[in-house]
Structure 1
Amino acid sequence: MRIIGLANVVVISVAIVGLSLLPGEPRPHAKPQETATVKGADEAARPPATPAPVGLPPGVVSTPEFARQVRANEAGLVPVLMYHRILAKRLASLDRTPAQLRKELEKLAKRGYVPITAREFARGEIHVPAGKFPVVLTFDDGHPSHFGLDASGNPRPDTAVGVIQDVASRHPGFRPVATFWVNKEPFGLREHDTQAAAVRWLTEHGYEVANHTWTHPNLRVLKRKKVREQIVRVERLLKKLGAPPSETMALPYGSMPRSKKSARSGSWDGTRYDFAGVFLAGAEPSLSPYAKKFDRGAIQRIQSNGKKGECRKWCSQYWLDWLDRHPGERYVSDGDPERISIPEKRRGNIVAKRGLQVIAY
């Protein structure tokens, strides 16, 4: 599926304006105990599967027959959803209300989507139950509406995390994880102790906190050294707060530096960074991370929004409906994190280095 440059320009333009205003058929599902198979010699020699991430059941061992049963297609498209502020009253087109966020997450849960982090996606560590579909929830700017704790030490219910946790409690298969890309004051917090407490709560509960540059500049107009400084300053901050080094980064405004390479890796003042994935601002589902044409330095996202104006064809409501109408184009998991199951006709779409992992049916 081609990347539509014009769509990206439209979405990025909308993002810049918004930020300037800142004050099918059911698929069968099999339980692990129902998928026991007679292993061939190569399977018997395989090491134990990587332990399942928090919130997910153990993986299964896929076979061509099982992959066909669940209609696995791990060469398919994955929606990477982009959110900004979550406000009771929207002030810009990019804003969503808690009710709108809840409605979209409920829709995802009911349709069989399971959240994974941007890091897991970029690294190709997609541990999703058989017959289910991965989705990546991403939040830009580390806004106060994304996360905050109440007096009891629980996420405030009106924040993004509060909504995610609540939806997950109502839909046990909906894993409560997301990626938060932050700037110099994560979640609007200015004190080190409160910043560290926020980062600790999120990372301990499976969320990803990663890099969105120090001051949210348009990287396109900066010299390479300044681009690297913007990135490294956030890496140093996250290290002080107890977070692991970022493995993903979202480009402010979706704007790529003139030196594309400097967005993904580099160093400044003795500190290096090297991201598994760099994410754009829109406007299509992403290719599978196993696909030959997948570009880790420019991963597509979809703005969360309805179907009005510029979003008539480029935002989340349109694309989620499109994937429902074109189930053969969607990524469907085989439940086996060690293998890549695909229809035979898609064998040529998988990058060569993944060849030994492929199960084609």
Structure 2
Amino acid sequence: MRSAASLTTIIGIANAVVLAVAAVGLMVVPSAGETPAKRAGAAAKQQTPQRPESRPSPSPGTGEPPGVVATPEFARQVKANEAGLVPVLMYHRIVTRRHAAIDRTPKQFRQELERLARQGYVPITATEFATGDIRVPAGKFPVVLTFDDGHPTHFGLDAAGRPRPDTAVGIILDVARKYPSFRPVATLWVNREPFGLRDQAQQEAAVRWLTGHGFEVANHTWGHANLRAVPTSQVRRQIVRLERLLAKLGAGPSRTMALPYGNLPRVKKAARSGGWEGTRYDFAGVFLAGAEPSVSPYAKKFDRGAIQRIQSNGKKGECRKWCSQYWLEWLDRHPRERFVSDGDPERISVPERLRGNIEARRGAQVNAY
């Protein structure tokens, strides 16, 4: 649910240089007996624009783009900016009739996904984002789809063991079939009854299907507790009890967690790491409940213990400025502020003037142009 915490100021990112790169054709000295047709073919081959060096392609079915090694020239061509902003979208119930402001209808949800797909966004999981493992094709933009509370409208299996088409996961899969570049993954943060299921065998089947198809199932506390309002010992207990359930279901240990109500505990670090009765947890990322795009996970100002999200909604009331329709339109109007992938997960490509925005420990990965 939405946090009442104050909204932070977006890091402005300037990118003043966009240059086109053309390959210079080389003169070819004809060899003895070479025909005019051969000379023309050789010249055409020499004039082919430079392409990035290739890495070995990933295994089929991994969802990763073909491997490339991004050079500064290639990064400039695709306008890469891996110091840019990333939308981490927050969803709750997907219902035909909305009962709360944070609800979305299946039609609204589908329309938002199709808009993302048409505009070049590629989904990644919360763990992939928090750890900086961003494997998105060159020139495309990462987006993180997140779902709180493990509601029955998020996921369910039919009698044949297939995802129900009317759920959030079913709609994601359908949009991915229509737009093959739209990777069908998301992060689902659950409580003690994942997807409304009470039977452990059904819970296991749901978690097994999701994790087996690239989705992330992770921690949203045992009882959706307001962590700000309980002692630190209870914060740890709430997190560990859910971790134990996820381990039993085959999804643990979690690498990320979403804060109920977006509220950090009074001892902030207790949300990210700790233990209770012999069970420990250590999250790569802890996610808030709003209300702006996140800074890049490579940026100096990235806080893994308080990662921003955007509530999915239109532009009404407070959402006139702080929800998904507003922010997606804003990023469209300010493309130089947005995270643009270089297609190379081993390098961090940025315009030269943004080199200083990247955290020092990643300095060897920086590919500035």
TM-score (norm 1): 0.88
Q: 2:242 aligned to 234, 240, 255, which one?
A: 234
Q: 2:179 aligned to 155, 168, 171, which one?
A: 171
Asked whether the equivalents of residues 75 and 349 of structure 1 are also in contact (C-alpha less than 8 Å), the reply is yes
Instruction: State the shift of 1:7 in Å.
Output: 3.6
Distance 1:346 1:150, change over 3 A: same
- Which runs of structure 2 are paired with 1:299-314 in the superposition (5 Å)? 299-314=307-322
Q: Which runs of 4+ in 1 moved over 4 A?
A: 34-39, 47-53
Distance 1:360 1:250 in 2: 33
Asked if 1:71 corresponds to 2:79, the answer is yes
Distance 1:35 1:58, change over 3 A: farther
Distance 2:60 2:226 in 1: 38
- Which runs of structure 2 are paired with 1:36-115 in the superposition (5 Å)? 36-37=51-52, 54-115=62-123
Partner in structure 2 of residue 323 of structure 1 = 331
Instruction: State the shift of 1:170 in Å.
Output: 0.3
Asked if 1:352 corresponds to 2:348, the answer is no
Asked whether the equivalents of residues 154 and 169 of structure 2 are also in contact (C-alpha less than 8 Å), the reply is yes
Structure 2 unaligned blocks of 5 or more:
9-19, 21-48
Q: What do the CA deviations read for 1:173-219 (whole angstroms, capped 9, x no partner)?
A: 00000000000000000011000000000000000000000000110
Distance 2:213 2:53 in 1: 36
Distance 1:160 1:246, change over 3 A: same
Q: What do the CA deviations read for 1:231-253 (whole angstroms, capped 9, x no partner)?
A: 00010000100113100000000
Aligned length: 328
Asked if 1:198 corresponds to 2:206, the answer is yes
Of the two, which has the highest radius of gyration? 2
Instruction: State the shift of 1:57 in Å.
Output: 2.4
State the secondary structure of the residue aligned to 1:82: strand
Asked whether the equivalents of residues 53 and 127 of structure 1 are also in contact (C-alpha less than 8 Å), the reply is no
Asked if 1:252 corresponds to 2:260, the answer is yes
Instruction: State the shift of 1:149 in Å.
Output: 1.1
State the secondary structure of the residue aligned to 2:172: helix
Percent same amino acid among aligned pairs? 74
Asked whether the equivalents of residues 298 and 362 of structure 2 are also in contact (C-alpha less than 8 Å), the reply is yes
Structure 1 unaligned blocks of 5 or more:
9-27, 29-33, 40-46
Q: 2:342 aligned to 322, 328, 334, which one?
A: 334
Instruction: State the shift of 1:50 in Å.
Output: 7.3
Q: What do the CA deviations read for 1:12-45 (whole angstroms, capped 9, x no partner)?
A: xxxxxxxxxxxxxxxx9xxxxx975469xxxxxx
Asked whether the equivalents of residues 52 and 127 of structure 1 are also in contact (C-alpha less than 8 Å), the reply is no
Partner in structure 1 of residue 6 of structure 2 = 6
Q: What do the CA deviations read for 1:279-312 (whole angstroms, capped 9, x no partner)?
A: 0000000000000000000000000000000100
Letter of the 1:109 counterpart: A
